[in-house]
Amino acid sequence: MLIQERLIARVRELCHADERLVAALTYGSFAQGEADAHSDIEFWLFLRPEVAQTVDHRAWLDRIGLVRHVVVNEFGSHVVFFPNLIRGEFHFATAADIANVATWPARSAPTDQMIVLDRTAALRDALESLPDRPRLPTSAEEIDELCGRFANWLILAHHVSQRGELLRAIDALSHTQRYLLWMARLGEGRTGHWLTPSRQAETDLGDDLVHAIHAIAPAADPQAIATAIAAAWACGRVYWRKLADRAGRGVPDDLFTELDTVTSQ
C-alpha cells in the first residue's frame, strides 16, 4: 500500500467522524485510478456555515498524521507536506460552496470515487450534473482563441529575450508550451488529460512530438532561448494550420510570415 493510500484512508475516517462537515470529496490521480508513488492527495472539505469560522484548519490537518509544513497557496488551498515529500491539497469551504461544484468544467473521476462524505446528497447532485469530460474547443472562434494565446506568449518571449530579460522569456515560454500542448492534443485527438495538458504528455503523445515540445524548455542563455522560440513556432504553426483547416478557418498569413522571419534569423 502506498503511503498516500494510508493518508487518504485517515482523511476519510476523520471526515466521517467530524459532524462539522457536511460533505467532502477527493479528486486527482487517486480518484482517477492513475496514481503512483509521486502523486498528491487532494480534497475539498465542506463545513457547516455556522461553524466554518471556528475550525482550526491546521489542527484539523495535524490529525491526519505527521506534518512537515503547511502553506496556503496562491489559490487559497492548504498545501500540506507530509514525510517523504508527499503533498496534500485541502480546500476548506462551506456547504454553500457545494453548488459551485456544478460549475466545474467536468468531473475528474466517477462520482462514487470522488465522494468521501455526503450527508445531504447535495454533493452527489452537483457532481452528477457535470459532464464526464471537459468541453473541447471546436468552433473557428475557439480555435482562433487557443492558437492566438499561444502566439501571444511566444511573441512576448521573443521581445523580452531581445531586451535581455532571459528569465522572463523562460517564464513566457512555459506558457507557450502549455498552449502548444493543448493545440497538439487537439490536433492529434489525444485529449484525455485536457485540463492539465502536460500531464502524462510523454506517454499520451508520440515520441517525435514530445521531443519537439521538450525543445521549448531552454536554459537561461540567449541562443538557447532563440532556439526554443524557433522550435515552438515550428511546431505551433503546423498545429495552428491543422486546427484552422479543420474548423474551416484560414490562418493570419501576415502574422505567420513575420514569425517565420523572426524565428529563422
- Residue-wise pLDDT for 64-73, tens only, equals 999 999 999 9
Label residue 38 by pLDDT band (50, 70, 90).
very high
Query: Is the residue at 11 inside a domain?
Result: yes
164/174 Cα distance (integer angstroms): 17
Beta strands 41-47 and 86-94 are: parallel
Q: How confident is the model at residue 1, as a pLDDT? A: 87
Higher pLDDT among residues 42 and 1, named by residue: 42
Residue 86 belongs to domain with CATH number: 3.30.460.10
**Residue 134: inside a domain:** no
Final residue of a structural domain among 89, 105, 128 = 128
Q: Do residue 13 and residue 99 come from a single domain? A: yes
**pLDDT level of residue 265 (50, 70, 90 thresholds):** confident
Taking residues 94-111, report their average pLDDT: 96
CATH at residue 200: 1.20.120.330
Tell me if 179 sits within 8 A of 247, measured CB to CB.
Answer: no
The answer to whether position 240 is within a domain reads yes
Question: 212 with 170, same domain?
Answer: yes
Judge whether residue 9 has pLDDT over 90: yes
Residue 180: all three cell numbers together:
502548444
Domain closes at, from 128, 155, 176: 128
One domain, residues 8 and 123: yes
Q: Is residue 253 part of a domain?
A: yes
* Domain match, 172 and 79 both: no
Same domain, 162 and 228: yes
Residue 163 grid cell: 531586451
pLDDT bucket at 110, cuts 50 / 70 / 90:
very high
For the chain, the average pLDDT equals 96
The residue-averaged pLDDT of 98-115 equals 96
Does 235 share its domain with 259?
Answer: yes
Dump pLDDT digits (tens) for 46-80: 999 999 999 999 999 999 999 999 999 999 999 99
Q: How many domains does the chain have?
A: 2
Q: Looking at residue 108, what is its pLDDT?
A: 87
Q: 128: how many CB neighbours lie within 10 A of its CB?
A: 11
Give the pTM.
0.90
Structural domain that includes position 52: 3-128
Q: What is the pLDDT of residue 219?
A: 87
pLDDT (tens digit per residue) in 148-188: 999 999 999 999 999 999 999 999 999 999 999 999 999 99
Rounded CA-CA distance 219/157 in Å is 13
